[in-house]
């Protein structure tokens, strides 16, 4: 267990980057060790040493001087000089593909929030069309990556040099389904339907025709059906084939939050007690998962928290279930899960700085 760790964050300007900065700045284990913020800085701002955090995200200004910390021009020399040991990348996928091998070569452990290293199967990675896929370096880097969902891979994450933080939709579907599928309860011949809905921030900070106010407000739209890039994560982590699950994402006219409604058939009749006991056993050591004893989760109860909420109902026969999973796409779906991984990597309590 290491008591003092110097972190670095590239990509603080985005929505997830802002939440990650907030969590790291207030993490009890990192007091007196603020992250090194680095990124693209134009010549004018470089002349003044970088861009103050308070100008990028005014909400991060506090009495401890956090607002005066600067995003400095990125260089490996900067990270070495500041003694960065763990580097968070809240960067585009292609940028992470370029920088992660360099970081590992320099002995820096990486927690990557992009989709660059989440997928082991080439067929699943094809949706990203990575230019370097298939190269020796990319294959060697992928072999070192651990899928960063502590509830599934806690032991591997503890030793990992590269943690590939899961996607937000993927987290909301994998967590409620994995215990049931792993236990052999689900009748995969009937198929699984995962109907997921996310707030607009899940699309990132850069505006597009379908995420600006005039399109998203007072609207609900499906997109990426049978083609969403998170689908591969579901297949690999849950252990199902593409023919056994339908994943249908939707855009909600709200800023943040995900609600996934999942429909399954069981091989044999179950009771609320039997399914509840299975979930409790599976998540017994998982402090960031909240199981609903009664009722179903709602976005308003999970948004701006670091928890994944799971609840379910069975039909009268006990052979069909509707499972509802909720989380904040910027927190448990991104930044707080990254900090959860940091905690696991250093032997700290998994929920430290998150509750």
CATH of the domain at 340: 3.40.50.720
**Which residue segment(s) compose the domain that 208 sits in?**
168-329
Do both 122 and 202 map to the same domain? no
- List Cβ neighbours of 135 (8 Å cut-off, separation of 6 or more): none
Residue in the structure block whose two tokens are 């670095």: 8
For residue 226, is it within any domain?
A: yes
Do both 82 and 112 map to the same domain? yes
Do both 251 and 227 map to the same domain? yes
For residue 354, is it within any domain?
A: no
pLDDT in tens, 241-277: 999 999 999 999 999 999 999 999 999 999 999 999 9
Mean pLDDT along residues 37-42:
95
Q: Does residue 211 carry a pLDDT above 90?
A: no
Do both 146 and 202 map to the same domain? no
Which residues are catalytic, by number? 168
Q: Does residue 93 carry a pLDDT above 90?
A: yes
Q: What is the pLDDT of residue 122?
A: 96
CA–CA distance, 266 with 187 (Å, rounded to integer): 5
Total domains in the fold of the chain: 2
Query: DSSP string spanning 61-124?
Result: --TTSGGG-EEEEP-HHHHHHTT--EEEE-S-HHHHHHHHHHHHHTT-EEEE-SSTTS--SHHH
For residue 353, is it within any domain?
A: no
CA–CA distance, 150 with 133 (Å, rounded to integer): 26
Q: Does residue 4 carry a pLDDT above 90?
A: no
Residue in the structure block whose two tokens are 């058939």: 265
For residue 350, is it within any domain?
A: no
Do both 296 and 188 map to the same domain? yes
Mean pLDDT along residues 67-73:
96
Mean pLDDT along residues 279-307:
97
Do both 157 and 17 map to the same domain? yes
How confident is residue 2, by pLDDT bands cut at 50, 70 and 90?
low
Q: What is the pLDDT of residue 1?
A: 62
For residue 351, is it within any domain?
A: no
Mean pLDDT along residues 137-160:
98
Q: Does residue 95 carry a pLDDT above 70?
A: yes
For residue 355, is it within any domain?
A: no
Average pLDDT, whole number, for the chain? 96
How confident is residue 205, by pLDDT bands cut at 50, 70 and 90?
confident
Whole-Å CA distances, 142 to 88, 122, 135, 174, 355: 17, 11, 11, 21, 32
What backbone phi and psi angles, to 5 degrees, belong to 87? -110, 120
Q: Which of 7-11, 39-43, 181-185, 348-352 has the lowest mean pLDDT?
A: 39-43
Do both 155 and 182 map to the same domain? no
Q: What is the pLDDT of residue 315?
A: 98
Do both 243 and 120 map to the same domain? no
Q: Which of 72-86, 199-213, 248-262, 313-327 has the lowest mean pLDDT?
A: 199-213
CATH number at residue 299: 3.30.360.10
Q: Is the pLDDT higher at 229 or at 1? A: 229
Do both 16 and 109 map to the same domain? yes
Mean pLDDT along residues 16-23:
97
Mean pLDDT along residues 88-99:
97
For residue 111, is it within any domain?
A: yes
How confident is residue 204, by pLDDT bands cut at 50, 70 and 90?
confident
Do both 37 and 161 map to the same domain? yes
How confident is residue 292, by pLDDT bands cut at 50, 70 and 90?
very high
Mean pLDDT along residues 326-345:
98
Do both 309 and 218 map to the same domain? yes
Q: Does residue 196 carry a pLDDT above 90?
A: yes
Mean pLDDT along residues 93-115:
97
Is the entire prediction scored with pTM above 0.85? yes
For residue 2, is it within any domain?
A: no
Do both 150 and 283 map to the same domain? no
């Amino acid at each position: 267990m290491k008591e003092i760790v110097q972190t670095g964050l590239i990509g603080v300007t985005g929505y997830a980057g802002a939440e990650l900065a907030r969590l790291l700045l207030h993490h009890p284990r990192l007091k007196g060790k603020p992250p090194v913020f680095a990124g693209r800085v134009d010549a004018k701002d470089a002349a003044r040493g970088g861009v103050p955090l308070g100008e990028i995200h005014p909400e991060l200004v506090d009495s401890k001087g956090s607002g005066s910390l600067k995003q400095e021009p990125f260089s490996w020399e900067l990270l070495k000089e500041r003694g960065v040991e763990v580097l968070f990348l809240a960067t585009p996928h292609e940028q992470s593909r370029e920088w992660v091998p360099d970081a590992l070569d320099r002995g820096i452990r990486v927690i990557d929030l992009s989709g660059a290293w989440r997928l082991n199967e080439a067929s699943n990675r094809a949706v990203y069309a990575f230019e370097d896929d298939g190269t020796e370096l990319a294959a060697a880097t992928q072999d070192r990556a651990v899928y960063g969902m502590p509830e599934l891979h806690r032991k591997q994450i503890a030793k990992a040099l590269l943690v590939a933080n899961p996607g937000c939709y993927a987290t909301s579907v994998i967590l409620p389904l994995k215990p049931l599928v792993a236990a052999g309860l689900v009748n995969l011949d009937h198929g699984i339907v995962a109907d997921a809905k996310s707030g607009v921030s899940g699309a990132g900070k850069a505006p597009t025709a379908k995420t600006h106010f005039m399109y998203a407000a007072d609207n609900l739209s499906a997109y990426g059906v049978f083609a969403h890039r998170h689908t591969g994560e579901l297949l690999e982590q849950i252990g199902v084939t593409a023919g056994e699950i339908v994943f249908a994402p939707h855009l909600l006219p709200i800023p943040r939050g995900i609600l996934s409604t999942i429909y399954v058939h069981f091989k044999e009749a179950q009771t609320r007690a039997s399914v509840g006991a299975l979930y409790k056993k599976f998540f017994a050591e998982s402090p960031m998962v909240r199981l609903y004893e009664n009722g179903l989760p709602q976005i308003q109860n999970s948004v701006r928290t670091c928890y994944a909420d799971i609840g379910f109902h069975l039909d009268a026969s006990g052979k069909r279930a509707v499972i509802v999973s909720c989380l904040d796409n910027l927190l448990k779906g991104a930044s707080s899960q990254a900090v959860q991984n940091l905690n696991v990597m250093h032997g700290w309590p998994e929920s430290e700085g998150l509750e």
